[in-house]
Structure 1
Amino acid sequence: MSIIEAIIIAIVEGLTEFLPVSSTGHMVITSSLMGIESSSFTKVFEVAIQLGAILAVVVLYWKKFFLKKNWFEFYFKLAIGVIPALFFGFFFGDLIDSMLESPTTVAVSLLLGGIVLLFIDRFFKNPTVGSEEKITFLRSFIIGCWQVLAMIPGVSRSAASIIGGMQQKLTRNLAAEFSFFLAVPTMLAATAYSLFVKGWDNNGLEQKGYELILSSTENIYAFVVGNVVAFIVALLAIRFFIKYLQVYGFRLFGIYRIIAGIFLLFLIAQGYLK
């Protein structure tokens, strides 16, 4: 993977990680369109650059993470919310990895998720939870269960957890913000597993993710530059998303997903994507 390719994928990650459009799906498609080999390093890179996006959330909401009075309750909610993802990720990791190589799965998930987003504001009317302090531990866990759906490429972690939040009576802005908060432990766990636990096949030699990154200067540069770019772009994307939601809701994202899903199915049918 070249530095230019790493930058492009990082821009896609930063733009889409916190929008309800599926960052994983967009990175899979971007890699396919650029003809990047679906190597172990590529898979590790697409997970590891989430570190930059995680840092963007912590920086934007630093008071929540570091100056909150009832910090124990806040972190405990996040810990409870991440349990379902940890469970399914640990036991079904290989199945999830196999689905990451399927543009068809991404296309169908984008299409179906787009239809849901068109009507989400009608589905969940009259929210009653307007502040993070009112989110109970049970609600955190249920939102975390919704987040598990995002393990299917193209579903979108952000979309799944936001829908889960609105189903639990959170306002759409609070549902989006709690989705950001929940992303931190979820993505941190996924990145740590990819870097330090999972064994990756590197031409017949099993290596940890960090070993793949350190195996060449090119990989190190790609990892560092990718995270820096993902951090900067994610900062801008989060700010845009919250302001946009306050006025317009989710309809535009639903329309985008439907168009993107149909377009991808066309490319697949024509043999441009495999």
Structure 2
Amino acid sequence: MDHLLLIKAVILGILEGLTEFLPISSTGHLIIAGSLLGYTDDTSRVFKIVIQLAAILAICWEYRRKIIDVASGLGRVPAANRFALHVFIAFLPAAVLGLMFHRIIKTYLFNPLTVAGALIVGGVIILLIERRTHVPRYETADDLDWRAALKVGFAQSLAMFPGVSRSGATIMGGLMFGLSRRAATEFSFFLAIPTMFAATVYDVYKNWALLRVEDLPVFTAGFVASFLAAFFSVRWLLRYIASHTFELFAWYRIAFGLFVLATAGFGWVDWADH
């Protein structure tokens, strides 16, 4: 067994879990970290699918009661029907645009320098949004109407550009379109479930030939690390936003993006070789 590879798997799993639901771009961090760790081969593509699935399942576990209530109430309970419809409406823009542009984005935009630029721009946008006067019209995720859900869905589609952050786009979009801080964050979590499941199924289909039994120990280590990290990350974020803005994440994005660009500019890291 390759113990070094197991260590890399745990590191990347923790990184995925910690960053997936924070507005700092898990994809961007994985691209940069994978490059630095030298884990960018074909197997790494499948590995990233596995640890993303673990992060989704952590959300499903955290909100299992809500998910069960909605699923069991479909067709019978108006509130459940309404909530499920709004999640579906918000899911559609990214689903349609993702199918149209998935290959182009994967081919041309998945590199550390592109991610660094997106991290910086996204950080500046978060700062600008947080400086606006914010008067919530929707206090909880259940209060949304279909128009607000659709607008959040279009905001989510911006995250197809690596480094933007799916959670960042949906949370900031939610704040702009009248959701309270908690409602925007929780709706981002619920919207992640169909969006990330769909992306996972599509990626597994595209990379089915790369699945190998001998990779199971590495994938298992990454899966467990990602699940646990995502579980604690989500709980921490909900406590944090109860009394804080998202400006901390904005400054982190800007600093991290500038650091990556500096490593390239001063020749410390040749990202073209990663």
- Aligned counterparts, 1:73-152, within 5 A: 73-123=82-132, 125-152=134-161
Contact 2:110/2:162 (<8 A) preserved = no
Match among 53, 56, 62 for residue 54 of structure 1: 56
Contact 2:52/2:226 (<8 A) preserved = yes
Number of the residue aligned with 1:204: none
1:216 Cα deviation (Å)?
Answer: 4.1
Partner amino acid for 2:112? P
Contact 1:124/1:167 (<8 A) preserved = no
Match among 235, 241, 245 for residue 241 of structure 2: 245
User: Counterpart of 1:241 in 2: which secondary structure?
Assistant: helix
Number of the residue aligned with 2:194: 185
Q: Which runs of 5+ in 1 are unaligned?
A: 199-208
Contact 1:99/1:152 (<8 A) preserved = no
Equivalent-residue separation in structure 2 for 1:124 and 1:49 (angstroms):
37
Match among 4, 14, 17 for residue 11 of structure 1: 14
Count matched residues.
260
In the alignment, does 2:268 pair up with 1:265?
no
Contact 2:141/2:187 (<8 A) preserved = yes
Match among 229, 233, 236 for residue 232 of structure 2: 236
Equivalent-residue separation in structure 1 for 2:109 and 2:196 (angstroms):
16
Equivalent-residue separation in structure 2 for 1:118 and 1:237 (angstroms):
22
User: Counterpart of 2:186 in 1: which secondary structure?
Assistant: helix
Equivalent-residue separation in structure 1 for 2:129 and 2:239 (angstroms):
18
Runs of 4+ in 1 over 6 A off after TM superposition: none
In the alignment, does 2:39 pair up with 1:41?
no
Number of the residue aligned with 1:222: 218
CA deviation digits over 1:209-250, x for unaligned, max 9? 24312x241x22222222221111001000111111111111
Contact 2:122/2:164 (<8 A) preserved = yes
In the alignment, does 2:84 pair up with 1:71?
no
Match among 23, 26, 29 for residue 26 of structure 1: 29
Equivalent-residue separation in structure 2 for 1:163 and 1:173 (angstroms):
12
Partner amino acid for 1:221? P
User: Counterpart of 1:248 in 2: which secondary structure?
Assistant: coil
Contact 1:14/1:230 (<8 A) preserved = yes
Equivalent-residue separation in structure 2 for 1:210 and 1:100 (angstroms):
23
CA deviation digits over 1:115-169, x for unaligned, max 9? 1222322225111110222111221111111001111111000000011111110
User: Counterpart of 1:92 in 2: which secondary structure?
Assistant: helix
Equivalent-residue separation in structure 2 for 1:244 and 1:5 (angstroms):
29
Which deviates more from structure 2 when the two are superposed, residues 143-152 or residues 70-79?
Answer: 70-79
User: Counterpart of 2:237 in 1: which secondary structure?
Assistant: helix
Q: With structure 1 as the length reference, what TM-score do the two structures score?
A: 0.90
The RMSD of aligned alpha carbons is 1.6
Equivalent-residue separation in structure 2 for 1:241 and 1:60 (angstroms):
13
CA deviation digits over 1:10-40, x for unaligned, max 9? 110000000000000000000111122x223
Contact 2:141/2:184 (<8 A) preserved = no
Partner amino acid for 1:245? I
User: Counterpart of 2:243 in 1: which secondary structure?
Assistant: helix
Partner amino acid for 1:212? L
1:187 Cα deviation (Å)?
Answer: 0.3
Q: Which runs of 5+ in 2 are unaligned?
A: 74-78
Equivalent-residue separation in structure 2 for 1:175 and 1:153 (angstroms):
21
Partner amino acid for 1:183? A
In the alignment, does 2:175 pair up with 1:163?
no
Contact 2:90/2:154 (<8 A) preserved = yes
Which deviates more from structure 2 when the two are superposed, residues 101-110 or residues 264-273?
Answer: 264-273
Equivalent-residue separation in structure 2 for 1:112 and 1:88 (angstroms):
21
Equivalent-residue separation in structure 2 for 1:124 and 1:185 (angstroms):
31
Q: With structure 2 as the length reference, what TM-score do the two structures score?
A: 0.90
Equivalent-residue separation in structure 2 for 1:101 and 1:167 (angstroms):
28
Number of the residue aligned with 1:203: none
